[in-house]
Structure 1
Amino acid sequence: MSNVELKKEDGVREALRAVVDPEIGMNVIELGLIRDIDIRDESTHIIMIMTTPFCPYAPQLLEQTRRTAQDYLGVPTTIEMGMEMWDPSMMEEGAASDWGLF
């Protein structure tokens, strides 16, 4: 990955800190829900998971994440809900201590 691509991905990840899970009160980056970001010249594709398989906020979180990335990058962005099971070890370093988990 080039420096430009890394800067774009870092920027998108920073922008996605504004997307907060309303039930948990933490953002999608802290929670480790963003599993992959594929940035191309003409489009971006994101794979995101939920903290629970039946998250009632999934449609809202997916759309808000997609829209935030698209607004930041200025290219059409698609999002896919990954099937990977979330667990607290996926959380950003230090974030789990806010929950008293680690």
Structure 2
Amino acid sequence: MSWIFLVVSGLFEAVWATALSRSEGFSNLGPSILFGAALVASMGGLAYAMRDLPVGTAYAVWVGIGAATTVAWAMVTGAEPVSVVRVLLILGLIGCVIGLKLTH
């Protein structure tokens, strides 16, 4: 169950990171509210997962999921350029996250 919470909280990390970038320094209300809600959900899920998982593994997986999802979303929406190298690097990051799960 901790792994499920960790994955979902990693996805919420991508939500808050994206909302933060669209909040325009917290002057745009909608993204600012979404940022706050996603941040609480993300940190809460990470904290819950850390009850059973080692801090290093949990944090690395959480960051990896959040980073990969944030970059992938930015590429899909056209906010960042897509290239073969970028896609391969994201896949490598995902591979490392899977490797941490498999070795736990």
- Structure with more strand by fraction: 1
> Is this a same-fold pair by TM over 0.5?
no
TM-score (norm 2): 0.35
If the length of structure 1 is used for normalisation, what is the TM-score? 0.36
Relative contact order (C-alpha < 8 Å, sep 6+): which is higher?
2
Q: Which has the higher helix share?
A: 2
